[in-house]
Amino acid sequence: MNMTIGAFLLDRLRSIGVNRIYGVPGDFNLEFLELLESPDGINFIGTCNELNASYAADGDARLSGLSALITTYGVGDLAALPGIAGAYAEGVPVVMISGSPPLHAFESRALIHHTLADGNYDNVLNCFREFTAAQALITPQNAVDEIERVLRTVVREKQPVYLQLPSDICYSVIDVPQEFVIRSLPASNPVRLASAAEAIAERLTRASSPVLLLDGFVRQYNLQDNLSRFVETSMIPFATMSTGKGVLPESSRHFLGMYAGKASSPELFERIATSDCVLCLGVRFVDSTSGWFSHSLNRNALIDMGMFTASIAGEFFADVTVTELLDAVLAKLPANWSRPVESHAPADRGHSPCSEEWNQTAFWGRIEKFLEQDDVIVAENGTSLVALNRMRLPAGCDYVSQPVWGAIGYTLPAVLGTLLAAPERRHLLFIGDGSFQLTGQELSTILRHGLKPIIFLLNNAGYTIERMIYGERSSYNDVANWDYVKLPAVLNPRVKSSGMVVTDMKELEQALEFATEREGLSFIEVRFEPMDIPEGMEAFGKMTMRYDYGRWAGEEREREHANAPSDISGSMGNK
């Protein structure tokens, strides 16, 4: 069957479920954008810049399962790279298409704009090689093979991939196969599957305190249904890493709380440390999610499942697919299987009741009550993430954050993506002023599409999370004070009075009411003193300082220029 390369790429993107492509036009991607605009195209969402496009695609993919963005070679590609790296770090499947120079320029190594003008056409791809699961430069000869290989990879690995589409071959006609076969989940080796399931079921059966530990992996591979079935049938309670917060309903009677090593509740820390069978689903212990590697598990109790592997107290099984393995384990549990429900009071709900006093504790206490079933809750790094991580979410909520890559500014454009992926739901964004300033212009695109998030901008005059680590009074932690609530009307003159400023509990009540009643976007600036912090943040700051700067951090400043050799604290190991 004959098809142009552009139409073929479009067809394959649609068939893996890409419904929106974010991005910025540039001279090398215009023919493909023309195709997107055609009646059988894909919705193009123009963003203010490419970094924002990558964050929006990431946010979209976290809810929709897969998204895409398009940029222009070099300038746009590198601008989107940090967002793509973030998607890789967090396990988010995003297809990035680079509208690249014409093939004749690649071939002649022509000195052209959007390159270093030194004939090097490898450097951009080399960067993406570091941060994507598959990459290709498309030519008319390899288009079928390479496009299908790269798109199969994004479906299988659920990690970002990268395609360079030279500007001059979009309308080249190639012979393409009619069918695009994707095995989204390769089948397991039956022998290995059976033996792994047997071994796991046997361990679960004799365990006295089994527990499940879940991570973002569950969202990444869309395992929620499998896991729900597994939890409801096995009655084994579960905890989540912060990277996996919300992957199963926190309203479940089996939910134990969020696990973060010694930064967990003491009960949960003990529960995990003393369990004789910890079933981990794609768990990564990262400094910021494990209380700086303070997690404690009995190695002999550990069952570690990856997508296509399992490790049972150190014995490794390749070639088993997790969905099949979970079902096989259930099937092998004894017929009379039952377990008591461990009716935990949510150990990690630390917020005080509402009070008249105005501070972060009071604010978050009220917000916890404001959350509703099926909300999409988006938590920016810093104060918001620390506070929201401690809340128990209502049923059906999605929770979007970026705790591993941890790029401030991620969430504002990410909300554009979550909104477009699920426009019928209520989306709440919590973001600090410092973070907002990185990417805030994307509010423009949210307004342009008539989307209606509730945005809480926490204005505490700077990077409070950094102040908790270092430089409480240092000027580098200050940011300019914007008149935030007036910004929506500047970015979209049709918007009238979408904003409110909150400086006490009464104003907060009014703002929540306003947001509930309002038809359009609500923009609520919530003002705090720079060192007003939510619970958990002080410990976070101290542990970060100790990890990043060593045992004598702070004291060393006093000893500058002194002769004493510096002390480097011993390294902390991986899991």
Task: For the segment 25-44, give every residue that binds its own copies (CB under 8 A).
Answer: 25-28, 30-31, 33-34, 36-37, 44
Please state the closest distance from residue 450 (CB atom) to its own copies, in A: 12
User: Whose Cβ is closer to its own copies: residue 92's or residue 201's?
Assistant: 92
CA distance 343 to 81: 45
Please state the closest distance from residue 324 (CB atom) to its own copies, in A: 25
Q: Which of 396, 409, 365 is closest to 512 using CA atoms?
A: 365
Please state the closest distance from residue 550 (CB atom) to its own copies, in A: 4
Build a one-symbol-per-residue string for 118-147: x at contacts with its own copies by CB under 8 A, - elsewhere: -xx--xx-xx--xx--------x-------
* Tokens matching residue 200: 């796991």
User: Whose Cβ is closer to its own copies: residue 428's or residue 487's?
Assistant: 487
Residues in the chain: 575
Taking CB under 8 A as the binding criterion, the range among 298-306, 315-323, 515-523, 560-568 that sits at the site for its own copies is 560-568
- Which of 416, 491, 508, 521 touches its own copies (CB under 8 A)? 491
Task: For the segment 501-540, give every residue that binds its own copies (CB under 8 A).
Answer: none
Q: Does 496 bind its own copies (CB under 8 A)?
A: no
* Strands of 94-100's sheet in order across: 43-46, 20-23, 67-72, 94-100, 161-166, 134-137
* Tokens matching residue 208: 């006295």
H or E segment and range at residue 329: helix 322-332
Q: Does 178 bind its own copies (CB under 8 A)?
A: no
Q: Does 486 bind its own copies (CB under 8 A)?
A: yes
Determine contact, residues 135/161, Cβ cutoff 8 Å: yes
Phi and psi angles of residue 462, each rounded to the nearest 5 degrees, phi first = 145, -165
Q: Does 319 bind its own copies (CB under 8 A)?
A: no
Q: Based on the number of CB atoms within 10 Å of its own CB, is 413 exposed (0-12), middle (13-18) or buried (19 or more)?
A: buried
- Which of 497, 503, 516, 574 touches its own copies (CB under 8 A)? 574
Q: Does 173 bind its own copies (CB under 8 A)?
A: yes
CA quadruple 480, 483, 488, 490: dihedral sign: negative
Task: For the segment 446-465, give every residue that binds its own copies (CB under 8 A).
Answer: 447-448, 463, 465
CA gyration radius, the chain: 25
> For residue 378, which amino acid is it?
V
Task: For the segment 332-361, give every residue that binds its own copies (CB under 8 A).
Answer: none
# residues near its own copies by CB under 8 A: 134
CA distance 288 to 407: 13
Q: Does 553 bind its own copies (CB under 8 A)?
A: yes
Q: Does 11 bind its own copies (CB under 8 A)?
A: no
Phi and psi angles of residue 55, each rounded to the nearest 5 degrees, phi first = -70, -40
CA quadruple 322, 327, 332, 333: dihedral sign: positive
Please state the closest distance from residue 441 (CB atom) to its own copies, in A: 6
Cβ atoms within 10 Å, residue 536: 16
- Which of 185, 422, 461, 479 touches its own copies (CB under 8 A)? 479
* Tokens matching residue 395: 């049923």
- Which of 13, 48, 400, 421 touches its own copies (CB under 8 A)? 48
Report in angstroms the alpha-carbon separations of 29 from 22, 49, 77, 487: 13, 15, 12, 31
Taking CB under 8 A as the binding criterion, the range among 1-9, 318-326, 362-370, 371-379 that sits at the site for its own copies is 1-9
User: Whose Cβ is closer to its own copies: residue 86's or residue 210's?
Assistant: 86
Q: Does 205 bind its own copies (CB under 8 A)?
A: no
Task: For the segment 404-443, give every residue that binds its own copies (CB under 8 A).
Answer: 404-409, 437-441
